[in-house]
Amino acid sequence: MDTNDAPVRVSAALIWRDGRFLICQRPPHKARGLLWEFVGGKAEAGETGEQALIRECREELDITVEPRDVYMRLVHRYPDITVELTLYNAEIVSGEPRLLEHSALAWITPSQIPDHDFCPADAEILKRLEMDFTRGRERG
């Protein structure tokens, strides 16, 4: 069976603080190493998307998050895997992000998106963030 036929469910967090959102840089030894992404990961069997998000944030950054609504959902095909990515608006309810798995983390504004090389699956999300940010600034 082709791995592209069975999407892997991935949950990720869009976490805002003071007008900036959190991104993490993948470790060099992993697929898509050193690219930037939203914190999160694959759902385990029997986990809801929200449960996976809470577990992944604890494992990767030692924080507890509260998932809110879904910001965006998409399917992306890489050569080695197809992911069904759900990005949740989320809030840190305890802890301060620290690196347990990633190479780096950063809090950026949507205008700083072009300064970072992101995983291809995040491209549509990043376009929407930039558009939402631009619209908000025009109204403000």
- The percent of residues above 90 in pLDDT, for the chain, comes to 80
pLDDT of residue 92: 98
Given the structure tokens 């991935």, which residue do they identify? 10
SS3 138: helix
Give the gyration radius of the chain's Cα atoms.
15
CATH code (residue 7): 3.90.79.10
DSSP label at residue 121:
G
Task: Give the domain extent around 95.
Answer: 3-139
Q: Over 90: is that where the pLDDT of 30 sits?
A: no
Q: Each residue of 43-83: pLDDT tens digit?
A: 999 999 999 999 999 999 999 999 999 999 999 999 989 99
Average pLDDT rounded to a whole number, residues 28-33: 81
CA 83 to chain CA centroid, Å, is 12
Q: Over 50: is that where the pLDDT of 2 sits?
A: no
What DSSP letter does each residue of 11-43 carry, written as one string? Answer: EEEEEEETTEEEEEEPPTTSTTTT-EE-SEEEP
pLDDT of residue 111: 92
Distances 27 to 44, 47, 79, 83, 122 between C-alpha atoms, Å = 21, 25, 19, 19, 17
Count of domains for the chain: 1
CB burial readout 72-98, b (16+ within 10 A) else e: beeebeeeebbbbbbbbbbebeeeebe
